[in-house]
Amino acid sequence: MSYDPSISLNASEFVAAWNSTNQGMPERVGSGNEATYDFTFDLNNITADGPTLSADTISTNTGPALWAGDVRTSATDENSSFNQYSIELQPNTLAVNKAYQDQRSSMTDDMCFSVATTATLKMTIARRVNGDTRVPYVRVFGVLLEQ
């Protein structure tokens, strides 16, 4: 971590945002090949004092952070439907990292990561998707990096 005199004394090196309400997912219920999407997950709360949040993008207002994002959804009909899609944080100065989400099983590697000064959580690939996000499991956490 590094010291930046322009940051509020009360600001934390940790940044967090999440969605406090369910968000409707786009619908793709046919099985088959994956499709490309550009769906943005809502981020409407923030815990840090210094950073600001606007238009579903969380920002450090200073320098780069290591971001981690996670999503949980529920399908419209839990008995006959399920969600399979990939999420990523944009922009990303590292290699693109698309985390696969499968509603039917818990995975140890289902969080996506990026390094940038801002973070927007997106669904970029979908095989099947419908239903809603689950509160509060749409979230992005960041840790400021040394500049």
pLDDT for 19 equals: 85
Instruction: Give which of 145, 136, 39 is closest to 83, Cα–Cα.
Output: 39
Q: Please report, to the nearest 10 degrees, the dihedral formed by the alpha carbons of residues 110, 116, 121, 125 taken in order.
A: -70
**Site of tokens 């290699």:** 95
pLDDT for 92 equals: 95
How far is it, in rounded angstroms, from Cα 133 to Cα 48?
23
pLDDT for 113 equals: 95
44 close to 125: Cβ distance less than 8 angstroms: no
pLDDT for 33 equals: 83
- The string of pLDDT tens digits covering residues 1-29 is 344 555 555 566 788 888 888 999 998 87
87 close to 99: Cβ distance less than 8 angstroms: yes
How far is it, in rounded angstroms, from Cα 7 to Cα 12?
9
* pTM of the predicted model as reported, rounded to 2 decimal places: 0.84
- The string of pLDDT tens digits covering residues 95-135 is 999 999 887 766 667 899 999 999 999 999 998 888 999 88
How far is it, in rounded angstroms, from Cα 40 to Cα 6?
30
Mean pLDDT score, 26-53: 76
| CATH class of the domain at 14-144 | mainly beta
- The string of pLDDT tens digits covering residues 46-100 is 655 555 565 688 888 778 999 999 998 888 765 667 888 999 999 999 999 999 9
56 Cβ contact partners less than 8 Å away, ≥ 6 residues apart:
40, 41, 42, 43, 44, 120, 121
